[in-house]
A = this chain, B = another copy of it.
Amino acid sequence: MTASPLFVPPYYSVIFTSLLPEHTKEYGETSDKIYELAQTQRGFLAMDSVRDAAGHGVTISYWRTEDDVIKFRKIAEHRHAQQSGRNTFYERYEVRVAKVEKEYAWRRKADGAGEYVKRGP
């Protein structure tokens, strides 16, 4: 799943990189729950999530303000703790909170030509 529509900067992103030794059913259920929770939170914009066959994953969630990020982090951590996620699922993970200042996008149009879009300063 990779949503990533365009928003108007500035806004916030949470970059979650991880190594998952084994993709269990429990992990999938916890991930799904956190994604569902995120979507109901104030300031949620979108989420991009990709994991490869070796277990390397990147999930980026986008939020309107830093305050929205802080609120969601508390909820996600609580959920992870409930599921003992941190100690069970991952070999390692990193969380980075980053303010998106500029964005650009390119799309292939129906006629095959490209369309280039820029947002922000």
Contacts and interface: CB of A to CB of B under 8 A. Distances in A.
B56 A50 contact: yes
B48 A98 contact: no
A46 B60 CA distance: 17
Contacts of A96: 9, 13, 100, 102-104
Interface string A57-92: 110100000100000000000000000001100111
Given A2-B19, A51-B50, A58-B2, A97 B101 contact: yes
Q: Does more than half of chain A's interface fall in helix, strand or loop, or is it mixed?
A: strand
Interface residues of A, number: 41
A30 interface: no
Closest CB pairs A-B (n = 10): A98-B98, A2-B56, A58-B58, A97-B102, A98-B100, A95-B104, A94-B105, A96-B103, A92-B107, A4-B17
Interface of A: 1-2, 4, 6, 9, 13, 15, 17, 19, 48, 50-53, 56-58, 60, 66, 86-87, 90-108, 114
